[in-house]
Amino acid sequence: MSKLVIMETIVNVMPLNKPGEDYRTLDSNGLTYRQAHLRLISNQLSSRRREECRCCNGALDGRGPQDEMGQLTGKGKPVLDSNTLVLNDDSDDEVTGAQRSLDRKLPEKYVAVQKPERCQYSPLPSHGSICGDLQKTLSQSRRVKFPRYSDLKQECVEEKKLFEDPEFPATDKSLFFQTSSPGRVQWKRPKDICDDPHLIVEGISAHDLNQGSLGNCWFVAACSCLALKSELWDKVIPDWKEQEWDSHHPENYAGIFHFRFWLFGEWVDVVVDDLLPTINGKLVYCHSNMGNEFWTALLEKAYAKLSACYQSLDGGNTADAMVDFTGTVAESIDLEKGEYATNIAAQMSLFEDLLNVFESGGIISCSIKAEPSERETRLSEGLVRGHAYSVTSIRKVRLGHGLQAFFNTEKMFLIRMRNPWGKTEWNGAWSDSSKEWERVGSVERNALGLTVKNNGEFWMAFNDWCRYFNEVDVCRLINTSLLSIQKTWHEAMHFSSWTKHADPLHNRCGGSVNNRLTFLQNPQFVFDVTKEEDEVLISIQQQDMKIHRQVGQGNNLYIGFVVFKVELNRIYRVHRIVTQKVEATITYTNTRTVFLRKVLPQGRYILIPSTFRPEDLGEFMIRVFSGVNSGCRELTQDKPKMRCWNVCLGYPRVVTQIHIYGANGLQSQDSSGGANPYVIIYCEGTSLQSRVQSDTLEPVFDLRGIFYRKKPRKPITVQVWNSYTVRDQFMGQVILGAALKDTTKPQKLQLHKRGQEVAEDMPGTLTLRVVTSSELTAM
């Protein structure tokens, strides 16, 4: 069992980058200046927080506190479709690497909590579950209550003053960094804007939100989605009743509010004052339909604080805001690429999927692609290009009136959306006053909440929606609770970075798969699919650069990733693609997050996230969700370590990679003329077994193995067996001796009997490929 030892301390983290040095630059010791500075601070402490993982035989990064932060970004255009790329099997890439860890600092103004360090040791396969439990314990230890808001409020109440946020002051600096003010801005508190201010009036509704003069419809659309799910906004607006104005005790009001956002792996608490920008007494930015309701404006202010100013929210990605509100993952669906407008089967499958997401508590947003010159232009049907709409309902509506509707099996698939402007609606079929509603009974119409108002909310037929909209962001609420009747997902989360080093052994910024000599220098993560097949969700999120827009560095990196199916027993980094199979790829884009949802067959996989260009530097977080524990971990070693006992017991001299494709012409093993074959590879006391292939004499094993061998002259044995209830039956074997030469193509070998000097042939052949090298980092 793992043992957790924590000694608490308070560390005042100083600026971690040297003047003139990029914080990601590595020094002569292979450390970033941020890491080196943290280590220096930690060594000077008389006592410090310490966490130790006994099963990993190492400290969990005892260099001091680490913090993370991420913000929002806009969508970018793809520059590369990696589906068209293939790595050369004859590549002579030879890459090794050293263990790395990542330091991050979250400025004090964003969070008032110190978080424990992350483990820099990847758990071994034999005790992955133990380290998994430890990671879960550490994760739970970070979920503590944020004290800063209550302390600041208490201080203001005691001193009888209203809070003014020095970190986000009521000045032009908090409004914009380039453009000028749209008018004479006055910062006012809600009590100076209306007579009876409230945080929330009669509950939260999607109709509360109206976009202001800022081009942040993406943020307003995400807020509209949030307003539909009370369990979500309760987390984003914590203890809202305690924050509400109290007319009976006005002395308790301190002009301070706080909101919570999920940023780069952590929930952080953001504190703001209630000073809001106004022109002529009216709010400049997001506002509610109710003149005395201010949760929308205050939430927008807290989010703007994370991005340094309001203008940084001008142009962004709805999916990013949805993730920041929920802490889950978002999937972007291209309706044009999927041909959902013309493919009825795909359309119905998408409808059922979105309906399931919505009914399970997820949130959905959609938009129409637009060139820069087309943004915010209207179609003749009333829809706006380049504008984010929130999906507020998805329904199957029964057609007909009275008993006819009850017995009628015909249903209409409808979807309801809301325009953040609070006006400008769809005017086609199933719009508010269209004749199509005459086909629906009054009871059904009332249940749908149909109103004939220009309030920005409208219904569309799902097939029309697929025809006009082409971008959909789906935020799925991933259930990770074991005590649930819904599907339970297992999550693995890791943090890493693309860092530059002159030594290829330490370099971790190899670029995309186009750069075949350096691509495998990127960070690598291994995970397993232990079921026959399993749906896997993979999300790669980079640190958002939007906060750096003020200094002209607000562009995200172009990122993507590749998933390879590798040897079933691989525990070291991949250095050359030989028999590994490309299982999935993602187009490189400059969005904050890239996402994949795919059903994978049983096996072991390597995930390689990368930037498009080599030497692009940045931090990232990966999240892998699967039906069963995937054991996801980062691969940091390149070959077996040399240890003291290797002097006596020997050290590997060669590495051999074997790929068993399948068998042909096997002998039947039952009365029906079939068999249930499987294959086993034996090498120097270790073995590797494939899955059983049911009822076939022509099995496809697709078994890959890699072996670090101390005795190259000792042959490798590959045996084929038949799985049987009472006792498994031997079906033949092949002996791979030292004289067997490597081949670039698969070779077919005859099966033989065992236990004889001159082995007799047995029915069937085995198709395989063997590659051996004396350089242990050649594969």
CA atoms of 701 and 467, how far apart (whole Å):
43
DSSP annotation string for 641-701: PP-TTHHHH----EEEEEEEEEEESPPP-STTS---EEEEEEETTEEEE-PPPPS-SS-EE
CA atoms of 387 and 445, how far apart (whole Å):
28
Give the burial string for 583-596 (b: 16+ CB within 10 Å, else e). Answer: bbbbbbbbbbbbbb
Q: Which has the closest alpha carbon to 262: 304, 315, 209, 322?
A: 322
Q: Which has the closest alpha carbon to 494: 265, 318, 779?
A: 265
Alpha helices in 360-441 (DSSP H): 402-407
CA atoms of 559 and 553, how far apart (whole Å):
17
Tokens of 113: 């909590």
CA atoms of 25 and 481, how far apart (whole Å):
40
Tokens of 349: 């499958």
Cα angle 45, 48, 52 (rounded to 5 degrees) comes to: 140
CA atoms of 228 and 209, how far apart (whole Å):
12
DSSP annotation string for 219-242: HHHHHHHHHT-HHHHHHHSTTHHH
CA atoms of 465 and 419, how far apart (whole Å):
14
CA atoms of 268 and 104, how far apart (whole Å):
14
Helix (H) or strand (E) holding 531: strand 524-542
Residues 6+ apart with CB under 8 A from 713: 738
Active-site residue list: 217, 387, 419
User: Virtual CA dihedral for 499, 500, 504, 505, nearest 10 degrees?
Assistant: -40
Tokens of 496: 């890493």
